[in-house]
Copies of this chain bind each other. A is one copy, B any other.
Amino acid sequence: MAVIRRLPKYHRYLGELLEKDVTRISSYELSKLTGFTASQIRQDFNNFGGFGQQGYGYNVEDLYNQLGNILGLGKKYNTIIIGAGNLGQAIANYKSFDDKGFRMLALFEKNPKLVGLTIRDIDILDIDSIESFSKENKIDIAVITTPKSQAQDVVNRVVNCGVKAIWNFAPIDLKVPEDVVVENVQLSESLLTIAFLLKEKEENV
């Protein structure tokens, strides 16, 4: 797993340690917690300036905050959700995303039955107002929870509006300019992985 995948995990574990008022931790203890090797952990942190102290380990709060900075937290990201079905609504309902700086400004939806409703004070707007909304609000991230058939089209539209990151839940590979970040969440593939692992276990019994 790449370091970029480990950093958010470190951050989550350190957050949990903070909640438990743990003030310091060694790479060995972090290893037991995260499942990554202690040397891997030290190497990861060294890459980002090595905050550990010989014989002391890591100060949990310092490390948590420094990782947060590395992860670009503390910043605010204007975020819109395109597709206000259950999944879009579920994401809009994650207050913890707002807490992390991902400000959910609006949902956009084609279905007139949903347009005009609000999810946790977040308006569901007509999908045709994406362009005008983007003119008034600089959008950093667009979450794509539309059906597969509409995903590329809405992505083209938000990219034209200057959106620089796409969080894609549609089961397709989106085509975007090089300077646009795409993070895919492929639920079907995740579920197929379970089937594969179950089958492997049965065969090895």
Contact = CB atoms under 8 A, between A and B. Distances in A.
Contact of A86 (B89, B100, B183, B196): B89
Contact of A167 (B89, B100, B194): B194
Contact of A189 (B8, B102, B141, B171): B8
Q: Interface size bucket, A side?
A: 35 or more
Interface in A129-152: 140-141
A187 to B, nearest CB: 7
A66 interface: no
A188 interface: yes
Chain B CB within 10 A, most for which of A179, A185, A191, A198: A191
Contacts of A91: 187
A171 B12 CA distance: 9
Contacts of A90: 85-87, 89-90
Interface of A: 4-5, 7-9, 11-12, 70-73, 75, 77, 85-87, 89-91, 93-94, 96-97, 100-102, 140-141, 164-165, 167, 171, 179, 181, 183, 185-199, 201
